[in-house]
């Protein structure tokens, strides 16, 4: 076990030096990664596309980013990257691979992890194997500044577990009435469980700024009036043909069409996420990916 631990530490150092060069001069306040869950009240709102392109925009700002594809039923991160991962989180859960073997290389020094069969397998581990898993995955804190969790859509127990375990939630909606209604239903469920949870809003596929602002204002107003909850609007992604073209090319739109309106807006959202402290506070000493996984397992078991 000691030899394996030494090997993993060496791999951590190599990754920090070689595979995240943009972050070498970055002043990092926290020793743990910032955990951000991106979710939606219903499917088909472009949540995964936002996860991928937001990760790229954060990477361009000098942050080291890892995406965990937690949409186990319809994992799409690898599809949007055009990359087939060799291994998944399930391989590590079952002790077949370590954390660095299941990391896949994406563009712009981004790493991603395919969820595989699902985190439900975690609750089946005995105490020793669970602790080994947590020790293994906690190494991500050493090589990442931000870990983006791309969840499934909807109000299922699995999705809620990921939401409640994360430091903050980015909720994606579209102008469609059903999407807005489902977004509010998800906000209500979150507030019933944790009124302190930080929820940030993004409107996707908006026709214009006024439409997006109206939706953001409406959601913030009803959440404040009926739930006593503060929401934090991050911005919007406009309807843009370049997004459709990029998906067909299996490439992120921010790389295929960097000058498009959609790319401009995703970069603005990334800057706002980093430069403002909308409800965000520095993680506690027990925060980070290990704490996230412990909380996730507890929520799944509950």
Name the strand (E) or helix (H) holding 91: helix 89-93
CB–CB of 164/294 below 8 Å?
no
CB–CB of 11/100 below 8 Å?
yes
Name residue 112's beta-bridge partners: 67, 104
pLDDT of residue 262: 98
CB–CB of 60/268 below 8 Å?
no
Domains of the chain: 30-173+241-301 (3.40.50.300)
Whole-number Å distance between alpha carbons of 144 and 147 = 7
Per DSSP, the three-state class of 40 is strand
Name the strand (E) or helix (H) holding 294: helix 289-301
Per DSSP, the three-state class of 205 is strand
77-97 pLDDT tens trace: 988 998 989 998 889 988 899
- Tokens of residue 259, six digits: 């000058």
What confidence tier does 8 reach under pLDDT thresholds 50, 70, 90? low
247-264 pLDDT tens trace: 999 999 999 999 999 999
Whole-number Å distance between alpha carbons of 8 and 153 = 34
What confidence tier does 275 reach under pLDDT thresholds 50, 70, 90? confident
- Tokens of residue 258, six digits: 């960097």
195-226 pLDDT tens trace: 999 999 999 999 999 999 999 999 999 999 99
pLDDT of residue 24: 42
∠ CA(188), CA(292), CA(58), 5° rounding?
A: 85
Whole-number Å distance between alpha carbons of 51 and 244 = 16
Query: In the predicted model, what is the mean pLDDT of the chain?
Result: 87
């Amino acid at each position: 076990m000691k030899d394996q631990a030494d090997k993993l530490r060496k791999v951590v150092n190599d990754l920090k030096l070689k595979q995240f060069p943009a972050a070498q001069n970055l002043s990092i306040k926290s020793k743990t990664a910032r955990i951000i869950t991106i979710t939606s009240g219903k499917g088909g709102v472009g949540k995964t596309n936002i996860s991928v392109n937001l990760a790229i925009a954060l990477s361009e700002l000098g942050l080291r980013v890892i995406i965990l594809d937690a949409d186990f039923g319809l994992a799409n991160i690898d599809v949007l990257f055009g990359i087939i991962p060799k291994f998944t989180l399930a391989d590590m859960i079952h002790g077949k691979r370590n954390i660095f073997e299941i990391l896949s290389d994406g563009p712009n020094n981004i790493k991603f992890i395919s969820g595989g069969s699902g985190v439900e397998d975690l609750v089946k581990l005995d105490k020793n194997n669970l602790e080994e898993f947590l020790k293994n995955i906690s190494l991500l804190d050493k090589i990442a500044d931000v870990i983006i969790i791309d969840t499934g859509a909807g109000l299922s127990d699995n999705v809620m577990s990921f939401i409640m375990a994360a430091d903050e939630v980015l909720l994606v909606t579209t102008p469609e009435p059903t999407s807005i209604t489902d977004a509010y239903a998800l906000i209500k469920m979150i507030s019933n469980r944790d009124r302190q949870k930080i929820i940030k809003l993004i409107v996707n596929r908006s026709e214009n700024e006024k439409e997006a602002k109206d939706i953001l204002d409406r959601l913030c107003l009803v959440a404040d009036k009926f739930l006593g909850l503060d929401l934090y609007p991050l911005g919007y992604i406009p309807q843009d043909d370049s997004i459709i073209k990029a998906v067909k090319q299996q490439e992120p739109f921010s790389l295929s069409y960097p000058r498009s309106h959609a790319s401009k807006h995703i970069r603005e959202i990334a800057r706002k996420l980093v430069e403002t402290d909308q409800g965000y506070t520095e993680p506690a000493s027990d925060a980070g990916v290990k704490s996230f996984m412990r909380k996730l397992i507890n929520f799944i078991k509950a």
